[in-house]
Homo-oligomer: A and B are copies of this chain.
Amino acid sequence: MSKVIKNGTVVTADLTYKADVLIEGDVITAIGPDLQGDEVLDATGCYIMPGGIDPHTHLEMPFMGTYSADDFESGTRAALAGGTTMVVDFALPSPGQGMLDALQMWDNKSTRAHCDYSFHMAVTWWDKQVFDEMPAVIERGITTFKHFMAYKGALMVNDDELYASFSRLSELGGIAMVHAENGDVVAELSAKLLAAGNTGPEAHAYSRPPQVEGEATNRAIMIADMAGVPLYVVHTSCEESHEAIRRARMAGKRVWGEPLIQHLTLDDSEYANADWDHAARRVMSPPFRNKQHQDSLWAGLQSGSLSCVATDHCAFTTEQKRNGVDDFTKIPNGTGGLEDRLPMLWTHGVNTGRLTPNEFVAVTSTNIAKILNCYPRKGAVLVGSDADLVVWDPEKSKTISATDQQSAIDYNVFEGQEVKGLPRYTLTRGRVAFADGAIIPEPGHGQFVARAPKGAV
Contact = CB atoms under 8 A, between A and B. Distances in A.
A249 interface: yes
Contact of A185 (B212, B226, B356, B375): B226
Interface stretch (A8-16, A34-42, A439-447): A8-16
A130 interface: no
Given A188-B160, A292-B292, A226 B252 contact: no
Interface in A291-342: 292, 298-300, 302-305
A219 interface: yes
B159 A184 contact: yes
Given A16-B456, A252-B299, A299-B250, A160 B184 contact: yes
Contacts of A253: 303
A370 B13 CA distance: 12
Contact of A215 (B218, B356, B376): B218
A252 B303 contact: yes
B252 A302 contact: yes
B226 A222 contact: no
B15 A14 contact: no
A193 interface: no
Interface string A210-221: 011011001100
Oligomeric state, in copies = 4
A219 B301 CA distance: 24
A217 to B, nearest CB: 10
A84 interface: no
A327 B182 CA distance: 34
Contact of A225 (B211, B226, B457): B211
Main secondary structure of the interface of A (DSSP, over half): helix
A94 interface: no
Given A15-B376, A252-B302, A456-B356, A211 B226 contact: yes
Contacts of A222: 182, 185, 211-212, 214-215
Nearest to A357: B456
Given A160-B188, A375-B14, A298 B252 contact: yes
A155 interface: no
Contacts of A185: 159-160, 163, 222-223, 226
Contacts of A226: 185, 188-189, 209, 211-212
A448 B196 CA distance: 40
A152 B246 CA distance: 30
Please give me the 3 A-B residue pairs with the lowest Cβ-Cβ distance, nearest first: A159-B184, A252-B302, A215-B222
17 contacts: A13-B14, A152-B160, A159-B185, A160-B187, A167-B188, A185-B222, A211-B226, A212-B222, A218-B219, A219-B219, A249-B304, A250-B299, A250-B303, A252-B298, A356-B456, A357-B456, A358-B456
